[in-house]
Each structure stands twice: as structure tokens, then as C-alpha cells.
């Protein structure tokens, strides 16, 4: 917990400087390609961030993915990040190697026969056999489960893809996060679960519309902050949670309006996270006592959101680590609760 202590100390030290009237501008401020395009608030085009791939560039990597087979029809050939994979019959023994793939199966009402160890595994997979860590799954453990399909992503398994294909047909997305809808479509194609997927997406659209209706004529701006043991991250438009906020029409403050996943903030830049509503996701390595201590630091109290009682702690399990519709449903539930209590 030494890193956490260092961050606590940094916040305290900066607060002392601020109280004496001495503040400095951090060099980690975002540098947009066109700073004037950043809006103070709004849901217009996100502002490019120098050196960071934007949403359009990321999604372009999914062009041509999927299958031409009719819904539920097998055999079928699926095009994905690893190439083309033919599935002779509907898979019934599926191993997932990351949370996004696991989320897809559970959302479709299916259960994997094997999953990697995760820090925030849902209760539904408590009794599912583990196949090693998420960073280095055990090929022997996967083989022992005799899967007929392995679902993964290139970030996690690109270097072992060829080995996985020798165990079972393997379908691989490009990445997790902001591409959660594209990933779900790809995994649905591999599973032949088009009808179940239609019900899931329709349910999501209905629930998203309920949240959008709560925004009102003057919707509040919302920012999402993750406090890790050694850093503070301000999440942007092209993040998992950012795409969900965009989808329901939530306006973003200027410093959260970039076409990127997140930017790192030093303590003296915490004001960049301010909005009408600030959502704080704490790192899993911090226990509740540390969370309470951290959020009691005077620097947080300088945020307008804190003064108005609109600083809300949310669960990083789905706001940050979520990668699919199950996490998105949980985020919508949080938004519905928070917006229902927002003063007008």
C-alpha cells in the first residue's frame, strides 16, 4: 500500500500549497490536436488527442468481421482478428480468456466451461473452472476442458493465438473497452446466438431511453474518475463508460471531451475532473477505509460537484473493467439512480 500512501501524501501536500495561495499547472494536461474545438460542454464530436488512436480508427479494425451464415445456421465461417475460423456445429463448450468474452456469454444466457482468474468475477462464474491468470492462461488447463470454442482478444492472446487454435477453434476480437458492442456482435456470430442477442440489445436500448429521459432540458455534465493506488485517471469519450454516457446523450465537460480512453491527472490537476456530477471509481487494491480517507482529502472539496453533493462513488468492476452488456446494464442502473436524485 506504499503507492497509495504516496498518492495520499501528494494530495495532502498540494492542498497545503493551495491553501497558501501557491499552485502550479501540471505538465500532464491533455493536448488536443485542435484545442479550440473542445466544447465547454456538449455531445458533439470528440476532440482528437495527439498520438492517441480515436474511436473511428479503432472500430475500423473490425471491418469485415462476422459471418454470412443465416442466424443459427451451422457450419459457419467467422472472420475475426485472427483470420477466418470455421465452426462445424453450434459451440457448447466455450472457454473465455477475458472479462468481455465472459460478459458476452452471460448476457446471452450461456455459461462458459472455463474462465481466467479475475479480480472482479461475477457470482455467476464462481464455480466455473479456472484456466490460469488473465495475463498468462494455462494452455494445459484449457486443453483439459475439451472446449469446442475459445473466445479471446488480440491484446490478451495475440501471441498465443496459434497455440490456442491447436486446442479448439478460436475467435479473437481486436481489443476490449470502447468496442464492446462490436465484440458482442462478433462473439454472437461465433456462437450462433443471434436471436438471444436481439433480445439483449433491445432491452439495452429500452433501458438507455429511460435514462436519457431523466436528463431533462438542461442535462448535467458528468465526468468519470478512477483513483488507482498510484495515479488518477480521467476517462474520456472513447472509453467503455464514455461510450455509454455518449449513447444516452450525457454532455461532457471540456476536459473529458477527448477522443481517447483516459488521461492521467496529477493531484494539482484534479480540478480538470470537475463537472455537475463527478463519478469516482476506486481501485480494487484500496479497502473502504482507504477510500473514505482518500475522498476526505481537502482537495476533493474544492470541486463544485463535491460542494453540491454530486460526488458519487461507483463500482470499478463495471464502470472501468466492464466490457459488455452486463456491465452496461449496471452502469445504466447507476445513472438512473443518480439522475433521479439530481436537483433541478
Closest CA to 192 of 248, 110, 295, 133: 110
Which is more confidently placed, 297 or 320?
A: 320
Please check whether residue 257 is in contact with residue 289, taking contact to mean a CB–CB distance below 8 angstroms: no
pTM of the model: 0.87
Which domains are delineated in the chain? 2-56+216-340 (3.40.50.1980), 71-192 (3.40.50.1980)
Share of the chain above pLDDT 70, in %: 86
Q: What is the C-alpha separation between 40 and 80, in angstroms, rounded?
A: 39
Distance CA 143, CA 93 (A): 12
What does the pLDDT read at residue 194? 98
- Which secondary structure element, helix H or strand E, spans residue 298, and what is its range? none
Residue 314's closest CA among 327, 331, 301, 298?
331
H or E stretch at 3: helix 2-19
HEC sequence for 106-137: HHCCCCCCEEEECCCCCHHHCCCCEEEECCCE
Average pLDDT, the chain: 87
Q: Of the given ranges (51-65, 113-127, 320-334), which has the lowest mean pLDDT?
A: 113-127
- Residue 163 phi, psi dihedral angles, 5° rounding: -70, -40
Lowest mean pLDDT among 117-121, 182-186, 328-332: 117-121
Range of lowest pLDDT (42-56, 91-105, 301-315):
42-56
What single-letter DSSP state applies at residue 301?
Answer: G
Query: Residue 19: in which H helix or E strand, if any?
Result: helix 2-19
Q: What is the pLDDT of residues 215-255, one digit of tens each?
A: 999 999 999 999 876 789 999 999 999 999 999 999 999 99
Tens digit of each residue's pLDDT (9 = 90 or more) over 254-289? 999 999 999 999 888 899 999 999 999 987 767 788
Nearest in space to 99 (alpha carbons), one of 318, 282, 316: 318
Amino acid at each position: 500500500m506504499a503507492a497509495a500512501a504516496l498518492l495520499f501524501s501528494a494530495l495532502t501536500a498540494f492542498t497545503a500549497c493551495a491553501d497558501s495561495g501557491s499552485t502550479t499547472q501540471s505538465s500532464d494536461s491533455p493536448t488536443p490536436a485542435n484545442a479550440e474545438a473542445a466544447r465547454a460542454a456538449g455531445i458533439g464530436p470528440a476532440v482528437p488527442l495527439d498520438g492517441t488512436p480515436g474511436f473511428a480508427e479503432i472500430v475500423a479494425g473490425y471491418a469485415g468481421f462476422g459471418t454470412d451464415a443465416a442466424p443459427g445456421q451451422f457450419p459457419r465461417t467467422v472472420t475475426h482478428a485472427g483470420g477466418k475460423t470455421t465452426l462445424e456445429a453450434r459451440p457448447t463448450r466455450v472457454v473465455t480468456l477475458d472479462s468481455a468474452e465472459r460478459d458476452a456469454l452471460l448476457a446471452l444466457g450461456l455459461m462458459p466451461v472455463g474462465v481466467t482468474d479475475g479480480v472482479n468475477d461475477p457470482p455467476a462464474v464462481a464455480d466455473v473452472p479456472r484456466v490460469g491468470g488473465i495475463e498468462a492462461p494455462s494452455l494445459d488447463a484449457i486443453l483439459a476442458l475439451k472446449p469446442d470454442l475459445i473466445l479471446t482478444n488480440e491484446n490478451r492472446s495475440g501471441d498465443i493465438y496459434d497455440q490456442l487454435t491447436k486446442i479448439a477453434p478460436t475467435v479473437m476480437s481486436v481489443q476490449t473497452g470502447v468496442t464492446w458492442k462490436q465484440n458482442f456482435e462478433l462473439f454472437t456470430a461465433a456462437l450462433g446466438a443471434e436471436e438471444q442477442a436481439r433480445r439483449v440489445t433491445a432491452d439495452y436500448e429500452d433501458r438507455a431511453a429511460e435514462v436519457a429521459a431523466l436528463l431533462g432540458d438542461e442535462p448535467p455534465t458528468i465526468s468519470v474518475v478512477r483513483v488507482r493506488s498510484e495515479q488518477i485517471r480521467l476517462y474520456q469519450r472513447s472509453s467503455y463508460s464514455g461510450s455509454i454516457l455518449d449513447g444516452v446523450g450525457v454532455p461532457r465537460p471540456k476536459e473529458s471531451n477527448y477522443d481517447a480512453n483516459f488521461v492521467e491527472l496529477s493531484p494539482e490537476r484534479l480540478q480538470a475532473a470537475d463537472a455537475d456530477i463527478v463519478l469516482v471509481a476506486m481501485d480494487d487494491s484500496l479497502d473502504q477505509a482507504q477510500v473514505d480517507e482518500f475522498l476526505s482529502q481537502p482537495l476533493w472539496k474544492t470541486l463544485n460537484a463535491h460542494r453540491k453533493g454530486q460526488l458519487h462513488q461507483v463500482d470499478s468492476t463495471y464502470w472501468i473493467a466492464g466490457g459488455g452488456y452486463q456491465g452496461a446494464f449496471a452502469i445504466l442502473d447507476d445513472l438512473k439512480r443518480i439522475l433521479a436524485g439530481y436537483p433541478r
